[in-house]
């Protein structure tokens, strides 16, 4: 239902996660190295290195490219710190203004983005945040988050997920739970760069809260809360449930929808259906995401004017 995300969001991690953060600043470009792959950063209005603040800022149609993966924005910001061995490492990356992240298979867009390495969380923010690939798309109107340690993605603000069969799940808030993936072997170059799940079918469960609506080719089911198990193909909706099939409408307290089998059943409540209530995971509700818009970033310095006494 919600597409898998792979290289498209890993640029904020893979492209800037370095053990030796080597900088070569030129007029409008910056070259970095990450695990043997060069990263090129360009900006129309130049690149600023704030050594005291340990921050790099690229302004004006800024773009970072590593291989076939890129991220662009009006401004790209990388905060780094010095390690015990004397090397530098990036611990937080911001992209602000008309943000677009692309790979050969996926495109993500938003007004702002941040990746916090310590928390292992990526946040895309904006009035129209989207992630699109061949397996489907997800669009939200506030934020789209991915928590790599918890293997959870959260889309908020009139969110909708669409799969390649054109089934749609709408909700004020959508939560996707990913399967555990095998831990990369020590020394594997992709080990520290793998942030998002890599295989089809990585999402095992979807939950929706607030104005939930599931649309299939045969019917539309509405409720206050919903869960969709992608492995079993069973969806459950709870609270003020309504099922619409052509001109017919049925109402109840709890619905069980067999997406694969094409059947739906209505019950008075979850207990009558012999199933648990739909509730938000407490771990997920406790997560506090970093803000993509960092007000501590100083504006670009003004252009030099004529010397005093000159016109």
Q: How far apart are CA 27 and CA 43, in angstroms?
A: 9
Greater confidence (66 vs 18) lies with 66
Least confident of 6-10, 121-125, 126-130, 146-150: 6-10
Is residue 284's pLDDT more than 90? no
User: Can you give the residue ranges of every domain in the chain?
Assistant: 216-279
- The pLDDT value given to residue 285: 63
Does position 125 have pLDDT exceeding 80, yes or no? yes
Backbone angles phi, psi at 147, to 5 degrees: -105, 105
pLDDT in tens, 202-255: 678 889 999 999 998 889 999 999 999 888 989 999 999 999 988 889 999 999
pLDDT higher than threshold 50 for residue 90: yes
Note the pLDDT of residue 74.
Answer: 95
Would you state the pLDDT for residue 99? 93
Quote the CA–CA distance of 50 and 75 in Å, as a whole number. 15
Compute the distance between CA of residue 127 and CA of residue 110 in angstroms, rounded to an integer: 8
Indicate left, alpha or beta for 91 from its phi (over 0: left) and psi (-120 to 50: alpha): alpha
Place of tokens 């603000």: 157
What is the per-residue pLDDT for 255? 93
Q: What is the number of H-type helices and E-type strands within the chain?
A: 3, 19
Query: Cβ distance 144 to 131 under 8 Å?
Result: yes
DSSP for 31-56, written as a single string: EEEETTEEEEEE-TT-EEEETTTTEE
**Confidence band of 141 (pLDDT split at 50, 70, 90):** very high
**pLDDT in the model for residue 194:** 36
Which residues in 103-135 belong to E strands, given as ranges?
Answer: 106-116, 121-125, 129-133
* pLDDT (average), residues 194-206: 56
What is the spatial distance between Cα 300 and Cα 46, in angstroms, rounded to a whole number?
10
pLDDT tops 70 at residue 15:
no
Residue 195: its pLDDT value, please? Answer: 35
The answer to whether 129 and 140 are in contact (CB under 8 A) is yes
Distance CA(231)–CA(225), nearest Å, equals 19
**How many whole angstroms separate alpha carbon 68 and alpha carbon 179?**
26
Per-residue burial over 207-246, b = 16 or more CB atoms within 10 Å of its CB, e = otherwise? bbbeebbbbbeebebbbbbbbbebeeebbbbbbebbbeee
Dist CA 14 CA 37 (whole Å): 10
Q: pLDDT tier at 167 (50, 70, 90 boundaries)?
A: confident
pLDDT band at 200 (very low <50, low <70, confident <90, very high): very low
pLDDT of residue 286: 61
Using 50, 70 and 90 to split pLDDT, how confident is the model at 129?
very high
Q: What is the mean pLDDT of residues 44-60?
A: 89
For residue range 94-114, what is the model confidence (pLDDT) as tens digits? Answer: 899 999 988 787 788 999 998
* Residue 55 scores a pLDDT above 60: yes
Q: Which residues contact 218 (CB under 8 A, 6 or more apart)?
A: 245, 262
């Amino acid at each position: 239902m919600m597409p898998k995300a792979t290289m498209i969001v890993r640029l904020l991690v893979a492209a800037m996660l370095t053990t030796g953060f080597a900088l070569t600043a030129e007029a409008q470009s910056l070259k970095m190295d990450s695990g043997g792959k060069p990263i090129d950063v360009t900006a129309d209005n130049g690149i600023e290195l704030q050594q005291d603040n340990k921050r790099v800022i690229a302004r004006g149609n800024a773009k970072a490219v590593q291989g076939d993966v890129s991220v662009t924005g009006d401004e790209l910001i990388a905060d780094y710190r010095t390690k015990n061995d004397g090397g530098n490492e990036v611990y937080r990356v911001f992209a602000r203004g008309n943000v677009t992240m692309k790979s050969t298979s996926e495109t993500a867009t938003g007004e702002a983005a941040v990746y916090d390495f310590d928390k292992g969380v990526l946040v895309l923010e904006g009035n129209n945040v989207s992630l699109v690939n061949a397996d489907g798309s997800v669009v939200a109107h506030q934020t789209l988050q991915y928590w790599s340690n918890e293997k959870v993605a959260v889309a908020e603000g009139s969110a909708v997920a669409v799969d390649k069969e054109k089934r749609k799940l709408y909700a004020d808030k959508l939560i996707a739970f990913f399967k555990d993936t095998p831990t990369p072997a020590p020394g594997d170059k992709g080990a520290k760069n793998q942030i998002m799940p890599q295989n089809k079918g990585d999402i095992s469960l979807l939950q929706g809260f607030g104005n939930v609506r599931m649309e299939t080719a045969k019917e539309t089911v509405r409720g206050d809360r919903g869960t969709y198990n992608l492995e079993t193909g069973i969806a459950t909706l709870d609270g003020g449930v309504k099922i619409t099939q052509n001109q017919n409408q049925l109402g109840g307290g709890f619905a069980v929808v067999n997406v694969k089998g094409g059947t739906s059943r209505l019950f008075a409540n979850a207990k009558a259906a012999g199933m648990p209530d739909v509730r938000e995971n407490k771990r997920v509700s406790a997560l506090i995401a970093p803000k993509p818009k960092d007000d501590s970033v100083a504006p670009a310095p003004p252009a030099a004017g004529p010397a005093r006494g000159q016109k």
